[in-house]
Each structure stands twice: as C-alpha cells, then as structure tokens.
Structure 1
Amino acid sequence: MPELPTPHLLIVGGGFAGLWAARALARAPVRITLLDRGNHHLFQPLLYQVATAGLSSPDIAAPLRHILRRQKNVTVLMGEATAVDAEGKRVALADGDALEYDFLLLASGANHAYFGHDDWAAHAPGLKTLDDALLIRRKILSAFERAEASMDEAERRALLTFAIVGGGPTGVELAGTLAEIARHTLKREFRRIDPRHARVLLLEAGPRILSNFPESLSAKAQRQLEKLGVEVRAGSAVTRIDAEGLNLGEDRIATRTVLWAAGVAASPLARSLGVPLDRAGRVRVQPDLSVPGHPQVFVAGDLATLQQDNGKPVPGVAPAAKQMGNHVAATILGRLSGRASQAFRYRDWGNLATIGRRAAIVDLGKLRFSGFLAWSFWLVAHIFFLIGFRNRIVVLLDWAMAYWTYQRNARIIVGRDD
C-alpha cells in the first residue's frame, strides 16, 4: 500500500500566532512552510521601547530561522503573500510565484488605520514594525536636534511639541516615555534649549484613555501621566493632520512630531478570501478559527475576530494570538487523527500597561493594582515572555541601567528623511 503524502501546512506570518502554531507541531506528521515579509519574530509589546531609544532592535527580535533551527519539519521563507485562492489551495506571492497547501494559517497581523484619512500617514507614523520604530525614533531625536539649531522661537516651540493620537496602551506608553526622555534623559545635554520645556500631548477621541481597563485604573493612569508632565486630552477627535501640526476639534496645535496610536486595520490579505469581514477588515472566523466554507483555512491573531461567551471579541493582544496559534495546531492534529474540531476558548490572563518609571497599571480581574508594584509586575512579565535567553539578559541589564541613570543607550539617529 503506497504511503500517503505528508500534509503541508502553510503559515503566513511569523508573529505570535504563526510561530506558536509552528512550534506546537514540532513532532507532528506535517510539513510546515512559514512565510513572512521579514526574517525575524518581533516581540511587539516592547516595540515602543525601540521607538523611544530604550532598547535596540535585536533586543526584542530574533531570526525566525534561528528560533526554528532544530525543528526539521519547518521551512522558513522570506516573502510576501498577496492573495489566497481558497478553492485551488494556493497562495500567490508578490514575486509572481505561488505556494500550495493542504492546511493554511493566515496570521499576517494588522496595519495602521487612519479612518479614511490615509494622507495623514505621511505626517503621523504608526508603530507596528521595526522600520516604524526606527522612523519614530529618528523623528523624536531629530526634533530636539532641530530645535537646538533653530533661531526661530515659534519653530522651536513646534519642534518641542509632541502629539500622540490614541489613548490605548501604545499611546500611553509612548507619551509617558517621551515625557521621561525630555525631563530626565536629555536635561543637561543641550545649550540653546531646555528639553524639560518640551510639551507632550496624549489625544484620545473617546471619553477616557485606556478604555479597555476598568475606569478606576484608567483614572490612575491619567494621574500618573499628568504627574510626568503629559497633557491628556480626551473627548475631542483629531480632524486634520499636516506637516505643520494638527487640528483637535476647533483648536490648532503647531507640532512637527505627531505619532499615531489610534487604530488598526487587518492585513488586506483577508479580502482575497471572499468571506465576511468586520469593519476593521478582520475575518469572522468559525468557533474553531477556520474560515466559513473553507475548513482547511484558519485565521488567527489580529486578522481574526471571534466573539467570546461574554459577548466581547477576543482581544488583539499577544496572549490571545499565542493561544490561537496553539489551538490551530491542536485542531490540525485532531483532523489528521479523525477527531472533531473543538471551539476556541480564550483564557484571559489580564491586562498590563506601563506609564513610565515606577508607574503602571495591572488588571487581573478581581485583582487590580497600580504604581510601583504594578510596574515591577509588568517588568517581570515582559522579561519572562521575551524570546531567547540573550534577549532577556540584555533587556534586563538595559532596564537596570536606565532605572539608576535615566539614560537610554539606543539614542542613535539612523537614516534620513527626504
């Protein structure tokens, strides 16, 4: 009797969902191809630290080939998927080639969403990739350098005004760290300007920042931000962004540095599936994370939307993506063994957000706390979940040095804006 061919699983995206699915199938009788536009896995929760010069790129990223070097059933390819032919079981690539599959996992993540104002992207970069982080770092550090060189007082004020649009965890983390850089890290390094006079604004269209946290913790976070010198403005939407600044309702704010942390949209790859999507472009997956009408296609991470038993969608956070990746792996193993698929159940471990030095908030359901204890909890959790022993040691040492000296060792401006 001829031996059956080994099933081929194609994973698009080397983030948390894709990588965790691949690793969960290390001993499975499947052949895996992991396709990603980059050559590395990125620990996104600390991406803002690279953007604000606290960490270097290799501290929060690791080559996918190195991570999976001992897993013989995985082939890593660097390339970009452009469309899915679910009927033909093929994925088209940007270079004109295509990859065939028996099972497909789409975990290509999300992009920035500007709510119909795509022209704002040129003036307000978002933070999703290492390229984004290096661009933002360049904009922040260059603003101080340009202010030092400028002879025009109005231009100096605009250069030393930093606006972050979006009061979620990323916006809060960026605002708090920017305030610390201005008031502590740079305070003795310039002669013509005083960085401590820099203005940091956190702008949120909704009624409060950190809306996914309980209102009491949200209020504590705002107080901690204001203690750092951040101006928090909630309840007013940004209506215009250009090279000279932004409009917040009827107010005009002159600034040369606007950072976008207000919204995300799913990867456009989802549209090629021809299945129902939500307003953000995410796939409305079945309970087992498969695509309606195509049980061999799975979607996980930020590209998927699924309601929990409590009526709320599974959040777009790293723990959820990891759990989804593991669930897809278990479902594929079950299919190969003839077992019925099980519904995905998200296990909520809680929410964390850091505001700045010795300031954070933690929501573990019944247990909620803030301040130094929350900051310590946040630090330990992020060190623990980093990929690789080297990354944990380097980040721990960098954070220890920054804690005692306020210095940020990655303050190198690379690249140039045309």
Structure 2
Amino acid sequence: MGTDQAPRGPRPQVIVVGAGFAGMAAVRELRDVDVDVLLLDRDPFNTFQPLLYQVATGGVNPGDITYSLRAFAARFPNTRFRRAAVTGVDTARRRVRLDSGADVGYDYLILCCGVTANFFGIPGAEENARTIYSRRAAIGVRDRVLSNLESVAQGRDGAVEPVVVVVGGGATGVEMAGALAELRNTGLPLAYPELDPQRARVVLVEMADDVLAPFEPGLRRYAADALRERGVDLRLGVAVKEVRRDCVVLSDGECVPSAVTIWATGVRAHDRVSAWGLRQGRGGRIQVEPDMRVVGHSDVFAVGDVAAKVDGAEPQLAQPAIQGGRHAARQIRRLLEGKPTEPFRYRDKGIMATIGRSDAVVQLPGRVRLRGFVAWAGWLGLHILALMSNRNRLATMANLAVRYLTWKRTANVIMGDPP
C-alpha cells in the first residue's frame, strides 16, 4: 500500500482519468506517440451514455451500449487499463492516489472523469429521485418502472399509481419522457389489458418556459407539441420545491404523485474533485487555460464535462468532450517535441434530440434545421455508428428494430430483476 504499483519506464507516462468520450478520444490520439498510457476508470467498461434512456425504458440491453475497457486498451500497444477510482492528486510530486491506496506517478495527466447529478440542494431530491447517468442507474429505473406497473396491474396493497415525473427539459429529459409515453401508449394496452392506460401518466417538469433550451425557438415548440401529442403532461415555467418518496412538490404548491421521479436537470463535478487542490469554478468544474491545461499546472489537462475554460465553458455534450480529449493528447505530443501548446477551438457540429419513434429535432451549423422522420433517421444512424464495436451496433440495431417495428403486436420490453 502506498507504493507505485505501475513502475514508470524510460518513456514518459500519461495517465488518463476517466473512460468516457474525452478519455477514449485522448487514448486514441496518443496511440502512436512515444509514451506509455495508463487509462483509469472505476468501471471495467465504457458506457455510451446517449442511449442510456433506452436501457431505462427497456429498449436495449445494458450490454448493447457498453464495451470492455481492457479490450479497448488491447488495441493500442502503448496503453494499459486499470480499474480504479482516483481519490487524490499530488501535483507537486506528480502522482495520483487510487482507491486501493496505491500511488501512481505521471509525467502528464489528463482529467476527464465526468460529472454527476446536481440536485441544487432541493429537499429530498438526492434521496428520492433517480438518475440515468450510469448503466447501473438506468437499470434501476427500468426495473422500478416495470415493477410498479406490475404491482398496480395486480392491485397489490401499497402500490403507487404508475406516474413517472421527469425533472428537466433538456435532451435527456425529453428523450426519457418521449420513450416512456410511447411505452404507455403502445405497450400497456397489450401487456396490461386490465390496466387503464390513462392511469399511467408521464409528467415533464421544466422551470424554463421551453424544453430543449439550446435549440432555436421553432424546434423547441415542435418538440413540446410532439411530446403533448404523445400524452406527456408538460409543466413548464415551474420549479421543483421538494421531492418526496411518492410525490413531487412544485413551486406553485401542487403535489404531483410519483411512483418514480427521474432527475435529468443539471450536473456538477464529483465531490472528490474538490480535494485535489485544483482551481474550480461554477458547478465544481476544473478551471483550464485556453490550451486546456489546468490553471497553475503545466502538466495537467482537464477536458470534457469536468472542465471549463477561464474565458468561457464549452457545452457539456459529447462533441466538445471528444474534441477536447484529442486536443489534450495533441498538446502532449507538441510539448514532447519542444513546441508551444495551441488554444482549443471547439468546432460546433450541431445538436440533436429524439422525441420518439420517427420523430426528432436536429440543429446543424449553417442554419440547417431538421425535424420529424428525417431527423430521427439521422439521429438513429449517427448513434448506432458511434457505438464502440460491430457487436454493439448489431445488437442495438436488432433491439431497436424490435422496439420500433413490432411493439404494436408484441409489446415486448427487456426485463431485469425486479427490486
């Protein structure tokens, strides 16, 4: 304990903390650089987060959107993977402390450890609401929703009415609410003929006056209308005052019954980051210079959702994380070659969100705006291509085909172990 469990060789050692979009991009970019790369993550797999809502609603298997990090590291001769959580960073000694108690030395450090849900101090939110930011959390939501439906359909004592409250009108909240509404509209009449579908409600709460705030007004209105057509009860311009075990109290005083409350609004850095001695800003995000090096530390980079430039933060989306991870790796190459670093310039490739079967909104640079089936087909194709392996792509395609093409006949969803 406390010894260096990974002896450093003659080549510089780069430690990448976090195997999300940013971390994976950094490792790929370092594959032909004369360094040794150690990838650290608390999970043994990478999770494709944009499709976690499909896991939470029984559309795809958890394994469809996860990929072994040891298999990933094996692609690159200069890379190794270790399952570990970083508990401390000693920038003076250039070492990171792992949850095992071991210290590992580095020459360059890339922090891309992601973020967690921000409950904004709202009473009961952290204790009673659920998130879908991890595979484990998405599985928990799926099993809770489906078990609640089963309990209500059988008339079991103590069963809470099948109402799901989604807090947050961003892409995650909209996609989750749309998928739940389709599950209610299409699956319930076949799977639960004894249950009146009108009893199963989906409520989306957003404190702003619109959903999908980053999109232009026309697409926001389109998304809101599409959700209402699917039967989603939109509560716009109202905040959450308290989250209880069986209801959500709104700022206007209404107490909305809730069997499951899903928290999809706001993120912040993990609490452990504050102990690393790095400068932090709003939401606990690590402050970085224009070249993505942490303020005051020339050998430490921070990218992705956990980082924010001192002159303005990038959107907390996949593309800024991917581009940031690549940029950090390229700057390490430049430093090793004796060249000065370059500032990071984010290239906006657009944003998209799906609302449900055959319906999505896409906003691309150059005033390109898409909606409906064309946007949905583009969203679906891009997300399947972005998965890590052909096995993931084929499995996801098969399960989504079942969901979108056969639900009216089979109402088949992927089940797990009931809580």
Which bracket does the TM-score occupy, shorter chain normalised?
Answer: over 0.9
1:390 is aligned to 391
1:207 to 209, 215, 224: 209
| 1:67 counterpart residue number | 72
Range with greater deviation from structure 2 (404-413 or 136-145): 404-413
2:6 aligns with: none
1:268 aligns with 2:271: yes
Distance 2:32 2:293 in 1: 22
Out of 29, 35, 38, the residue aligned to residue 40 of structure 2 is 35
2:342 & 2:290 partners in 1: Cα distance?
8
Q: Deviations over 1:190-219 (max 9, x none)?
A: 243123541110000112111111111111
Aligned pairs, number: 407
Counterpart of 1:373 in structure 2 is 374
* Cα distance change, pair 340–396 in 1 and its aligned pair in 2 (3 A): same
Structure 2: unaligned runs, 5 residues or longer: 1-8
Misfit runs of 4+, over 4 Å: 407-410
- Give the Cα–Cα distance (whole angstroms) in 1 for the partners of residues 37 and 45 of structure 2: 17
Q: What is the alpha-carbon distance in structure 1 between the residues aligned to residue 383 and residue 331 of structure 2?
A: 29
- Distance of aligned partners of 1:334 and 1:409 in 2 relative to their CA distance in 1, 3 Å threshold: farther
What is the identity, as a one-letter code, of the residue corresponding to 2:389? G
Partner of 2:321: 321
Q: Distance in 2 between matches of 1:413 and 1:116?
A: 32
Distance apart, 1:411 and its partner CA: 2.5
Partner of 2:5: none
> Does the aligned pair in 2 maintain the 1:173–1:354 contact within 8 Å?
yes
Task: Report the TM-score, using the length of structure 1 for normalisation.
Answer: 0.94
> How many angstroms apart in 2 are the aligned matches of 1:14 and 1:118?
32
Task: Give how far 1:220 is off.
Answer: 0.3
Alpha-carbon offset, residue 307 of structure 1: 6.4
Partner-residue secondary structure (3-state), 2:316: coil
- Contact 1:82–1:92 (8 Å) recurs in 2: yes
Offset at 1:118? 6.7
> How far is 1:415 from its partner?
5.2
Q: 1:319-361 CA distances to partner (integer Å, 9 max, x unpaired)?
A: 1111111101100000000111000010110000000011110
Amino acid at match of 1:131: R
Deviations 1:58-82 (A, max 9, x none): 1111001112213111110001111
Provide the residue aligned with 2:104 in structure 1.
99
Q: Which residue is 2:4 aligned to?
A: none
TM-score, normalised relative to structure 2: 0.93
- The answer (yes or no) to whether the contact 1:277–1:284 under 8 Å persists in 2 is yes
Aligned counterpart for 1:126 among listed residues 121, 125, 131: 131
- Of residues 240, 243, 248 in structure 2, which corresponds to 1:241? 243
Cα deviation code 1:234-255 (max 9, x no counterpart): 1110101111211012111122
C-alpha contact 2:186 2:411 (8 A) present in aligned 1 = no
Q: Is the 8 A contact 1:285 1:304 kept in 2?
A: yes
Q: What is the distance in 2 between the residues matched to 1:410 and 1:108?
A: 32
Match 1:189 to one of 188, 191, 198: 191
* Aligned 1:72-221 pairs, distance under 5 A: 72-117=77-122, 119-150=124-155, 158-221=160-223
The superposition leaves residues 345-393 of structure 1 with CA deviations (integer Å, 9 ceiling, x where unpaired) of 1011000000001111000031012111111111111111111111111
Residue type of the alignment partner of 2:80:
T
Q: CA RMSD in A?
A: 1.7
* Residue 306 (structure 1) shift: 2.3
Match of 2:30 in 1: 25
Kept in 2: contact 1:141–1:413 (CA 8 A): no
Q: Are 2:17 and 1:12 equivalent residues in the alignment?
A: yes
Task: Give the match's secondary structure for 2:275.
Answer: helix
After superposition, where does 1:397-412 map in structure 2 within 5 Å? 397-406=398-407, 410-412=413-415
Q: Which runs of 5+ in 1 are unaligned?
A: none
Instruction: Judge conservation of contact 1:84–1:269 (CA < 8 Å) in 2.
Output: no
More displaced stretch, 32-41 vs 192-201: 192-201
Q: Percent identity?
A: 36
2:89 and 2:156 mapped to 1: Cα distance? 55
